[in-house]
Amino acid sequence: MGDQETEKRDGMTDNSASVLPTPHEGLGPLARTLAILGVISLVYMIFIFAVPIDPWFPEGTRQAGEVDFIFRFMLAFGGAIIIYVQGLLITFVRTYRQHPDEAPDALGVQSHGNTRLEIAWTIGPTILVIALLAISFTVRADEIGPQKNPLQLYVHGYQFAFGFQLHQYGLTSDMSSVYLPINRPVYVSERSTDVIHSFWVPEFRIKEDIVPLANGGTTHEEFTPTRIGVYRVICTEYCGSGHSSMHIEDGIHVVSEKDFEAWVRSKGGVVPSHGVTTALLSHPTR
């Protein structure tokens, strides 16, 4: 070991001593950074929960608002985590970068472990995940739970189109589009006669795979349309060379009860005089 190396080591020791933090009055720099990031996160989260989604992505069903709440929840808390992680990263890079008067191999203060911090970053995300799970199960229960007096919509997926049937109204052959009355729960039964497809109506926030199950099995989904309009139905599962063309721009028309009955009659269907059924539907296959 030569003199040069000894000098360097000594230089390093001196430098380490000079970067020792001095005691601060009031908020330390880290606490101040955390407070600033907290304010930024709060403003961001309020914005995410308050900004309307509807003008950009219309919410066409009661369930759409619930699904969008999950989206807001994930975006708000996920964004806040990003703000904290990136904010601290930038702060640390700035604070602990090599200063011009320091030796190239200068060492800062070494520390290891922080039990309180570790408990906080374990419990915080755990609570968030449990909350997300609870919200998701509630929304999912609403999407598949029995509703009163539902309209039963049969969706037939095949290469490369959809067919719609309304058995309650005597419409039992495939139609390329369907009318639905506003504000009445729709119980969808989907089946495929060839390969897997997926029934997606973006404005309804529903998307359910149509799996060619044995014994004519079906998959189900429920939604309650809340807005009059014409909606796209899109296949969102790769199902062959025609998959990209498997979408119907005017697949679902949501109309008033009166217009719905007029449409049923125009299609040769029958509107029952006492409504269809008030019984709750059971779910035979899931």
Interface stretch with ligand CUA, choices 32-40, 79-87, 120-128, 231-239 (CB under 6 A):
231-239
CB of 252 to ligand CUA, least distance (A): 16
235 binds ligand CUA (CB under 6 A): yes
186 binds ligand CUA (CB under 6 A): no
243 binds ligand CUA (CB under 6 A): yes
CB of 212 to ligand CUA, least distance (A): 11
Interface stretch with ligand CUA, choices 21-29, 72-80, 90-98, 236-244 (CB under 6 A):
236-244
Q: Name which position in 239, 252, 255, 264 contacts ligand CUA (CB under 6 A).
A: 239
**Which residues have a Cβ under 8 Å from the Cβ of 33 and sit 6 or more positions away?**
87, 88, 91
Report the alpha-carbon distance of residue 241 to residue 148 in Å, rounded. 40
247 binds ligand CUA (CB under 6 A): no
237 binds ligand CUA (CB under 6 A): yes
Q: Is the dihedral of CA 85, 87, 90, 93 positive or negative?
A: negative
CB of 199 to ligand CUA, least distance (A): 9
Q: Name which position in 246, 252, 254, 255 contacts ligand CUA (CB under 6 A).
A: 246
Spatial contact of 48 and 76, defined as CB atoms under 8 Å apart: yes
**Running DSSP on this structure, what letter comes out for residue 56?**
T
CA distances from 264 to 68, 78, 161, 179, 259 (A): 32, 47, 21, 8, 9
**Which residues have a Cβ under 8 Å from the Cβ of 119 and sit 6 or more positions away?**
none
Q: Please give the size of the binding site for ligand CUA, defined by CB under 6 A.
A: 9
Interface stretch with ligand CUA, choices 75-83, 117-125, 126-134, 232-240 (CB under 6 A):
232-240
**Which residues have a Cβ under 8 Å from the Cβ of 15 and sit 6 or more positions away?**
102, 103, 106, 107
Interface stretch with ligand CUA, choices 35-43, 74-82, 218-226, 230-238 (CB under 6 A):
230-238
Spatial contact of 247 and 232, defined as CB atoms under 8 Å apart: yes
166 binds ligand CUA (CB under 6 A): no
CA distances from 51 to 68, 102, 131 (A): 11, 48, 21
Report the alpha-carbon distance of residue 162 to residue 155 in Å, rounded. 7
Show contacts with ligand CUA in window 190-219 (CB under 6 A). 197
Report the alpha-carbon distance of residue 226 to residue 184 in Å, rounded. 8
Q: For 141, list phi and psi in degrees, rounded to 5.
A: -60, -40
Interface stretch with ligand CUA, choices 8-16, 66-74, 233-241, 252-260 (CB under 6 A):
233-241
Binding site for ligand CUA (CB under 6 A): 157, 160, 197, 235, 237-239, 243, 246
